[in-house]
């Protein structure tokens, strides 16, 4: 009985820690593709999917939102709930993986906390990043491979299902195939085990073949992703060197705001790989094992393919999507898991040296967890600061119940459809279309402000999204050519977005003719 309770308690504690971190650092609507994702989730729920659209065909990217909407209604909570929960579960999966690598309960518990608190994992868990669903499928794939090594048919069928689901989030799932293929070839030739490869191949063929027939029936194409796919563009030859530096920069240096994304995790991976290599050649106990080899081969090969492989379905030019940081999600879990494994492997030698020496791995473990928390705060700083500026203004709008609210276009979408939609009497939110730069917003204001009802509220100083966003767009008065009209009376002033190169306070104004 005790052996059953301990894993449940350990997994639950890891999950609760992960939830607490994601609640504390919650970012909300901060990605520039959130309007598209939000619109897609709403459309599929109220009207149904548009199967001719490539994003709608990737049903794993919205089906969990459909379920959350069905259970809780359309809200900010239900929109972010799926990625929130899936991200928080990765620490539990890491704990289970380490247990199947034969680490102790306590050691595996620590490893789960490393994964749960990794800066990039927490950051992704505070956003609506559909890449989390792909990361979940691949992480579960690791668990399946470790847990069912002696049950190859069940392992192969499960992997086939998981990678098929991952394919309907991002086509990047195919970058896991080289290592998976090598794994099955080793099992075939070294261990004479063919059942795993056969069951995986058969399951994949049935699932992909079956849905191809469905696509042909619905939209007239067996392979619709060859005809229309995610936004890729041909990269001019002279731009390729700079393009290929973007993912390494995001991995090792961080974001465009000079804040980290992955924290120390990539550096600890390099340190661990170097020390294991030295230990293997010198005869020291800290040496490579088969799990090290598979983990390293996986995230290194995945990263190389992600960074260098042309993503178009044509070889006439080099094609690439925009190099968005969240596309690195599939390598985050195995890297964080490997860092935990390095620390656990290194702890063995210290534990053999005596009682005092055992304090060293305890200190290192605590230090890594503390470093994760500090760097998580840095990684999420822009998004939490953005939310800390926006939400007080939203709360004031709800209390003031003005006749009309004016804001940047994307913020206006969220005010109209999420934050103010339940206020009675209904607050009119001015939806401004085809207006982008601060000058365009200023001209729009000049042309329309005299027609506004008294009491209209204007939100300035804040742009529509944080990551990969147009930071000069919207009612950014620092970019206006002259001051606001004297009838705009300042009501509230907030700290401002200090991560921007040219910040200004976030302000709420009231039109008083």
Structure confidence by residue, pLDDT tens digits, 3-12: 678 899 999 9
pLDDT higher than threshold 90 for residue 224: no
Dihedral (Cα; 473, 74, 403, 496), 10-degree rounding = -40
Question: Quick one: pLDDT at residue 229?
Answer: 61
Question: Quick one: pLDDT at residue 258?
Answer: 92
Q: Same structural domain for residues 330 and 407?
A: no
Average confidence (pLDDT) over 241-265? 96
Task: List, in sequence order, every residue forming a beta bridge with 312; answer none if it has no partner.
Answer: none
Task: Give the strand pairing for 404-406 and 428-430.
Answer: parallel
pLDDT higher than threshold 70 for residue 114: yes
Question: Quick one: pLDDT at residue 99?
Answer: 96
d(CA 340, CA 100): 14
Q: Same structural domain for residues 278 and 291?
A: yes
For the segment 43-56, what is each residue's pLDDT rounded down to a tens digit? 999 999 999 888 89
Q: Same structural domain for residues 408 and 276?
A: no
Q: Evaluate whether residue 223 is within a structural domain.
A: yes
Average confidence (pLDDT) over 198-213? 96
Q: Which of 364, 379, 394 is at the close of a domain?
A: 379
Q: Same structural domain for residues 136 and 12?
A: yes
Question: Quick one: pLDDT at residue 190?
Answer: 82
Q: Evaluate whether residue 292 is within a structural domain.
A: yes
Q: Evaluate whether residue 371 is within a structural domain.
A: yes
Binned at pLDDT 50, 70 and 90, residue 499 comes out as very high
Average confidence (pLDDT) over 397-420? 96
Binned at pLDDT 50, 70 and 90, residue 189 comes out as confident
Q: Which of 352, 379, 406 is at the close of a domain?
A: 379
Q: Same structural domain for residues 352 and 425?
A: no
Contact in structure between 98 and 112 (CB atoms under 8 Å):
yes
For the segment 432-457, what is each residue's pLDDT rounded down to a tens digit? 988 889 999 999 999 999 999 999 99
pLDDT higher than threshold 80 for residue 395: yes
Q: Token match 């049903």: residue? A: 59
Contact in structure between 118 and 336 (CB atoms under 8 Å):
yes
Question: Quick one: pLDDT at residue 378?
Answer: 98
Q: Evaluate whether residue 234 is within a structural domain.
A: no
* Number of compact structural domains in the chain: 2
pLDDT higher than threshold 60 for residue 1: no
d(CA 58, CA 4): 37
Average confidence (pLDDT) over 161-185? 95
**How many other CB atoms are found less than 10 A from the CB of residue 12?**
11
Q: What is the pTM of this model?
A: 0.94
Ordered DSSP codes for 20-41 = HHHHHT---S-BTTHHHHHHHH
Gyration radius from the chain CA atoms: 25
Q: What percent of the chain has pLDDT over 70?
A: 97
Q: Same structural domain for residues 26 and 136?
A: yes
Q: Same structural domain for residues 279 and 366?
A: yes
Q: Same structural domain for residues 431 and 369?
A: no
d(CA 194, CA 506): 63
Q: Evaluate whether residue 329 is within a structural domain.
A: yes
**For the packed helices 290-308 and 329-352, what is the interaxial angle rounded to 10 degrees?**
150
For the segment 53-104, what is each residue's pLDDT rounded down to a tens digit? 888 999 999 999 999 999 999 999 999 999 999 999 999 999 999 999 999 9
Q: Which of 379, 395, 417 is at the close of a domain?
A: 379
Question: Quick one: pLDDT at residue 203?
Answer: 97
Q: Evaluate whether residue 322 is within a structural domain.
A: yes
For the segment 292-324, what is each residue's pLDDT rounded down to a tens digit? 999 999 999 999 999 999 987 777 889 998 999
pLDDT higher than threshold 70 for residue 230: no
Question: Quick one: pLDDT at residue 228?
Answer: 62
Q: In angstroms, how far is the first alpha carbon of the chain from the final one?
A: 74
Q: Evaluate whether residue 102 is within a structural domain.
A: yes
Average confidence (pLDDT) over 129-143? 97
Q: Mean pLDDT across the chain, nearest whole number? A: 93
Q: Same structural domain for residues 251 and 335?
A: yes
Q: Same structural domain for residues 55 and 37?
A: yes
Ordered DSSP codes for 295-315 = HHHHHHHHHHHHHHS--SS-S
Question: Quick one: pLDDT at residue 226?
Answer: 72
Domain that holds residue 392: 384-511
Q: Running DSSP on this structure, what letter comes out for residue 458? A: E
Question: Quick one: pLDDT at residue 2?
Answer: 57
**How many other CB atoms are found less than 10 A from the CB of residue 108?**
25
Q: Same structural domain for residues 450 and 319?
A: no
Q: Evaluate whether residue 388 is within a structural domain.
A: yes
Question: Quick one: pLDDT at residue 17?
Answer: 97
Average confidence (pLDDT) over 458-485? 92
Question: Quick one: pLDDT at residue 461?
Answer: 96
d(CA 439, CA 436): 8
Q: Same structural domain for residues 396 and 370?
A: no
d(CA 246, CA 252): 10
């Amino acid at each position: 009985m005790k052996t059953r309770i301990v894993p449940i308690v350990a997994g639950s504690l890891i999950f609760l820690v992960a939830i607490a971190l994601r609640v504390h650092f919650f970012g909300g609507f901060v990605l520039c593709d959130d309007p598209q994702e939000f619109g897609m989730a709403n459309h599929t729920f109220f009207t149904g999917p548009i199967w001719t659209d490539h994003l709608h065909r990737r049903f794993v990217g919205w089906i969990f939102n459909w379920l959350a909407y069905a259970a809780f209604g359309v809200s900010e909570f239900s929109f972010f709930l799926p990625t929130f929960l899936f991200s928080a579960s990765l620490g539990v999966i890491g704990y289970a993986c380490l247990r199947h690598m034969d680490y102790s309960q306590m050691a595996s518990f620590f490893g789960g906390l490393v994964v749960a608190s990794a800066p990039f994992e927490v950051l992704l868990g505070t956003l609506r990043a559909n890449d989390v669903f792909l990361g979940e499928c691949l992480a579960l794939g690791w668990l399946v491979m470790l847990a069912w090594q002696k049950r190859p048919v069940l392992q192969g069928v499960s992997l086939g299902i998981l990678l098929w689901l991952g394919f309907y989030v991002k086509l990047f799932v195919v970058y896991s195939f080289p290592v998976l293929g090598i794994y099955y070839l080793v099992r075939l030739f070294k261990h004479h085990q063919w059942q795993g490869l056969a069951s995986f191949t058969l399951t994949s063929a049935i699932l992909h073949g079956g849905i191809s027939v469905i696509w042909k029936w619905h939209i007239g194409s067996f392979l619709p992703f060859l005809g229309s796919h995610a936004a890729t563009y041909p990269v001019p030859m002279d731009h390729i060197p700079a393009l290929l530096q973007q993912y390494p920069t995001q991995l090792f240096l961080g974001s465009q705001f000079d804040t980290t994304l992955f924290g120390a995790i990539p550096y600890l991976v390099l340190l661990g790989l170097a020390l294991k290599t030295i230990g293997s050649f010198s005869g020291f106990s800290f040496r490579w094992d088969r799990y090290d080899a598979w983990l390293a081969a996986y995230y290194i090969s995945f990263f190389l393919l992600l960074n260098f492989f042309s993503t178009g379905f044509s070889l006439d030019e080099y094609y690439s999507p925009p190099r968005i940081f969240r596309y690195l999600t599939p390598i985050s879990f195995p890297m964080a898991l490997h860092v935990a494994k390095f620390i656990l492997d290194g702890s063995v030698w210290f534990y053999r040296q005596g009682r005092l020496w055992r304090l060293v791995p305890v200190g290192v473990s605590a230090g890594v967890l503390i470093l994760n928390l500090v760097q998580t705060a840095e990684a999420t700083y822009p998004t939490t600061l953005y939310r800390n500026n926006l939400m007080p203004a939203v709360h004031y709008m709800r209390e003031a119940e003005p006749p009309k609210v004016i804001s940047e276009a994307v913020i206006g979408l969220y005010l109209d459809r999420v934050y103010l939609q339940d206020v009675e009497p209904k607050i009119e939110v001015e939806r401004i279309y085809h207006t982008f730069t601060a000058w365009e917003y200023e001209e729009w204001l000049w042309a329309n402000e005299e027609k506004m009802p008294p009491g209209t509220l204007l939100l300035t100083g804040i742009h529509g999204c944080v990551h990969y966003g147009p930071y000069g767009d919207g009612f950014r008065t620092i970019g206006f050519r002259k001051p606001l009209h004297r009838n705009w009376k300042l009501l509230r002033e907030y700290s401002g977005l200090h991560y921007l190169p040219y910040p200004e306070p976030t302000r709420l104004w009231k039109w008083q003719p």
